[in-house]
């Protein structure tokens, strides 16, 4: 009876342990999705800056991507560890103790999952619930007319052309960044901090050293150009092609994640607007290019669907250099598409599509119902920014 009682107690203890792990995992997941907005706002502005500063400072000691090292290391160890686990499983099955072995394996997996999920929620997940940046900026609620779209387009076009004329070109006539990646990344951090502080949406300063990923070319197969590792507080940037029309805003986007903004719309919006306020012409060019292309597409849609009339005031000589930059970027991604299609023919898998599906599910699992569509910034937000922060201020100074 004593022996049976001890076995029963051990069994109950094991069951309770598993239940506790599952309960904590479930609670962590639900908390990250049901956190009230006011609590999320206080967390992102008061608690998150302190917690995130610790791994950010550690990661910033080196220019090497710790995330990349971790991913490569985990990938190399995954198969050998699985084989070792299977060998021990078979050995236990042929002798005795397979139940205990499986229990320990499950317990360890749940323990690791619990720790990683808690870290993710604290360092990123909770920030999905905060007040959107466009709301903090007072954007997106103004009734926008077609004329407003056109005025904002002309503003972004003029500033884009002005910045483009200040840039150096390579032998193919494609604009180049003003400095190397390290200096560009450092400046992006300053610009992002300055914009967020000036507009009152994140008053504290932070520094997470953006890292260039060495295997960026293969990363391009996923069409992902930047990623933050919440555990390390590390912004990783795809630098296979340093596209001047996107790299400055991409770095600013990822730095927004390290400042407590999880929503992709927020980060794309802040990334573009921060570039508009920069002193460096390459950053301004990228920001105004982003706004110009967004508004240009929207105006074309309104002209087609609503029958609006508008004649573009675009100088062929001025826009030609911009077209070269755009074509150079398109040529790069065409080569990536060709390589992805070649891999698909050989192995029957389209890496770009699978990555898109995975990213979509990841965002939806974090309460972002629109999935990858959250990367899109509503065009009226850019127009509203022009009306409230550019046009009205210009009128007031006149």
Task: Check residue 332 and give its pLDDT.
Answer: 98
Q: Which residues contact 388 (CB under 8 A, 6 or more apart)?
A: 138, 139, 142
Which of residues 129, 156, 174 is at a domain's end? 129
Task: Check residue 398 and give its pLDDT.
Answer: 40
Q: Which residues contact 358 (CB under 8 A, 6 or more apart)?
A: none
Query: 178, 191, 199: which is closest to 136 by C-alpha?
Result: 199
Which letter does DSSP use for residue 1 in this model? Answer: -
96 shares its domain with 140: no
Domain count, the chain: 2
Q: Which residue ranges of the chain lie beneath pLDDT 50?
A: 1, 397-398
108 shares its domain with 139: no
SS3 (DSSP) at 303: helix
Which of residues 129, 154, 185 is at a domain's end? 129
Q: Which residues pair with 235 in a beta bridge?
A: 228
Task: Check residue 5 and give its pLDDT.
Answer: 66
Q: Which domain holds residue 37?
A: 2-129
Task: Check residue 49 and give its pLDDT.
Answer: 94
253 shares its domain with 216: yes
270 shares its domain with 327: yes
215 shares its domain with 94: no
242 shares its domain with 153: yes
Task: Check residue 50 and give its pLDDT.
Answer: 93
Helices 281-306 + 181-198 axis angle, to 10? 70
Q: Are 309 and 303 in contact (CB under 8 A)?
A: yes
**Strand 234-238, strand 211-213: pairing:** parallel
69 shares its domain with 197: no
């Amino acid at each position: 009876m004593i022996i049976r009682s001890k076995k029963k107690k051990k069994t109950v203890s094991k069951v309770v342990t598993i239940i506790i792990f599952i309960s904590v995992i479930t609670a962590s997941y639900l908390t990250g999705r049901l956190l009230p907005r006011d609590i999320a706002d206080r967390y992102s502005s008061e608690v998150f800056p302190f917690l995130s500063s610790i791994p950010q400072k550690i990661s910033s000691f080196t220019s090497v991507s710790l995330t990349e090292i971790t991913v490569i290391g985990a990938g190399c160890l995954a198969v050998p560890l699985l084989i070792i686990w299977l060998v021990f499983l078979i050995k236990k099955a042929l002798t005795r103790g397979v139940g205990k072995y499986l229990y320990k394996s499950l317990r360890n997996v749940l323990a690791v999952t619990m720790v990683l999920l808690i870290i993710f929620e604290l360092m990123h997940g909770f920030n999905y619930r905060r007040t959107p940046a466009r709301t903090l900026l007072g954007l997106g609620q103004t009734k926008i007319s077609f004329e407003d779209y056109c005025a904002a387009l002309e503003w972004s076009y003029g500033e884009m052309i002005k910045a483009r004329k200040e840039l150096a070109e390579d032998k193919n006539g494609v604009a180049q960044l003003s400095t190397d990646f390290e200096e560009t990344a450092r400046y992006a951090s300053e610009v992002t901090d300055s914009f967020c502080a000036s507009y009152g949406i994140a008053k504290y300063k932070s520094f997470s050293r953006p890292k260039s990923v060495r295997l960026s070319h293969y990363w391009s197969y996923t069409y992902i150009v930047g990623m933050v590792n919440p555990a390390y507080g590390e912004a990783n940037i795809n630098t296979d092609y340093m596209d001047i029309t996107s790299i400055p805003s991409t770095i600013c986007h990822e730095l927004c994640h390290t400042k407590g903004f999880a929503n992709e719309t927020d980060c794309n919006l802040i990334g573009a607007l921060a570039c508009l306020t920069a002193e460096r012409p390459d950053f301004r060019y990228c920001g105004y290019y982003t706004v110009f292309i967004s508004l240009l597409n929207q105006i074309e849609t309104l002209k087609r669907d609503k029958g609006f009339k508008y004649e573009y005031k675009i100088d062929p000589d001025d826009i030609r250099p911009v077209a070269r930059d755009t074509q150079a970027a398109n040529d790069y991604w065409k080569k990536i598409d060709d390589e992805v299609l070649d891999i698909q023919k050989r192995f029957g898998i389209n890496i770009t599509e699978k990555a898109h599906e995975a990213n979509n599910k990841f965002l939806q699992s974090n309460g972002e119902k629109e999935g990858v569509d959250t990367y899109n910034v509503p065009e009226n937000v850019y127009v509203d920014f022009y009306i409230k922060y550019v046009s009205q201020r210009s009128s007031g100074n006149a």
